[in-house]
């Protein structure tokens, strides 16, 4: 077993990708490892003709994934947009793994991301010794993707300063990366495209220019539509992460997962599941990803400091941290929810007692 904490998607799911490639008889765009149909099957799961079972990577609306895959088969770049924790990065990684066999050509967007990280940089020792040359140039992941006809990924596009964002315009519109220092350029090879992600909580931080927006087809990844769908996602990912982290505890019972999902959904929606009671919402997003984190934290507590069975007390410590991001405003919201909903709900007394213990 590998000691790598988290394998890249193309490594973790190498067998599934290989099986899909073997059974895939549909037309593949140039430099694609799989056909668009097979890419969608890889993400959404399914049974192949030989009986091999492909696990779902994304649980949700099939049409969303089909639109995303179809976009990448055209000359448009893809922007995955939505709330934090809606699997934008997860979908981006798996799309790149299935299409290119390489999900590592990544530019991580931050306030400090520079134009060199998107275009290219220089080996300054070589530059000073011999002047500008192709040997002294340090290609960015974007440039390598263009040269090889692969998918480049840009995470958190709206965190990148606006003037740096706009360095993508020529790449996306002309499929060319000029290198004026050498009087040359890199032209994109067929198969090249860009998948960017952005969350709508960052709206207004570094708004995309209209010129850049036009170069992307925007696909919005929504929160799970139903509690059952969200519970399925959480159960699947908690089990996978528990195995990957080798946590010495059994995955939490389905009822425990349902409670966490219900709490998150009620606080997000501002009302109880039955619609009878309106409640205040905290400042955080309370995403599906955070629900997964809460339960994995509970598994770690139960495994290392308990008897290996996840109970209300193990879950509650993570819940409090997930809900209370603002120590003043969110603490009031959480206390009100505990007293008006958790305390009065049948079968939730253990959760209420656990909450009082961590105060």
Is-contact 244 298, C-beta < 8 A?
no
Residue 204's pLDDT band, with cuts at 50, 70 and 90, is: low
For the cut 80, the answer to whether the pLDDT of residue 151 exceeds it is yes
Reported as a single tens digit per residue, the pLDDT across 156-198 is: 999 999 999 999 999 999 999 999 999 999 999 999 999 999 9
For the cut 60, the answer to whether the pLDDT of residue 1 exceeds it is no
Calculate mean pLDDT across residues 99-113: 96
- 3-class secondary structure, 118: helix
Pick from 137-146, 171-180, 185-194, 241-250: least confident: 241-250
- Give the whole-angstrom CA distance, residue 139 versus residue 233: 38
Provide the pLDDT for residue 83.
87
Is-contact 169 212, C-beta < 8 A?
yes
- Give the whole-angstrom CA distance, residue 180 versus residue 173: 18
Share of the chain above pLDDT 90, in %: 87
> pTM of the prediction?
0.91
Reported as a single tens digit per residue, the pLDDT across 289-306 is: 999 999 999 999 999 999
Residue 244's pLDDT band, with cuts at 50, 70 and 90, is: confident
């Amino acid at each position: 077993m590998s000691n790598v904490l988290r394998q890249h998607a193309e490594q973790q799911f190498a067998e599934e990708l290989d099986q899909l490639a073997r059974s895939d008889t549909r037309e593949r765009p140039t430099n694609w490892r799989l056909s668009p149909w097979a890419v969608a099957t890889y993400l959404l799961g399914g049974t192949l003709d030989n009986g091999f079972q492909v696990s779902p990577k994304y649980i949700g609306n099939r049409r969303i994934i089909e639109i995303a895959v179809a976009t990448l088969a055209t000359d448009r770049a893809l922007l995955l947009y939505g709330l934090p924790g809606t699997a934008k990065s997860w979908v981006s990684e798996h799309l790149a793994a299935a299409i290119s066999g390489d999900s590592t050509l990544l530019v991580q967007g931050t306030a400090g991301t520079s134009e060199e990280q998107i275009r290219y940089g220089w080996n300054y020792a070589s530059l000073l010794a011999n002047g500008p040359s192709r040997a002294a140039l340090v290609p960015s992941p974007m440039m390598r993707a263009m040269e090889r006809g692969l998918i480049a990924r840009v995470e958190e596009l709206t965190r990148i300063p606006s003037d740096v964002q706009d360095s993508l315009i020529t790449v996306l519109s002309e499929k060319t990366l000029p290198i004026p220092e050498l009087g040359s350029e890199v032209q994109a090879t067929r198969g090249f495209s860009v998948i960017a992600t952005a969350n709508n909580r960052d709206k207004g931080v570094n708004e995309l220019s209209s010129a850049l927006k036009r170069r992307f087809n925007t696909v919005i990844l929504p929160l799970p539509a139903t509690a059952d769908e969200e519970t399925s996602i959480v159960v699947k990912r908690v089990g996978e992460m528990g195995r990957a982290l080798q946590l010495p505890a059994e995955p939490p019972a389905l009822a425990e997962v349902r409670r966490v999902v219900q709490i998150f959904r009620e606080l997000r929606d501002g009302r109880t599941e039955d619609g009878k009671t309106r409640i205040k919402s905290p400042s955080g997003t309370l995403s599906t990803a955070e629900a997964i984190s809460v339960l994995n934290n509970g598994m770690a507590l139960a495994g290392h400091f308990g008897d290996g069975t996840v109970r209300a007390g193990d879950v509650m410590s993570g819940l409090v941290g997930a809900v209370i991001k603002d120590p003043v405003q969110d603490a009031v919201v959480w206390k009100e929810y505990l007293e008006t909903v958790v305390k009065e709900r049948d079968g939730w007394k253990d959760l209420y007692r656990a909450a009082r213990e961590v105060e």
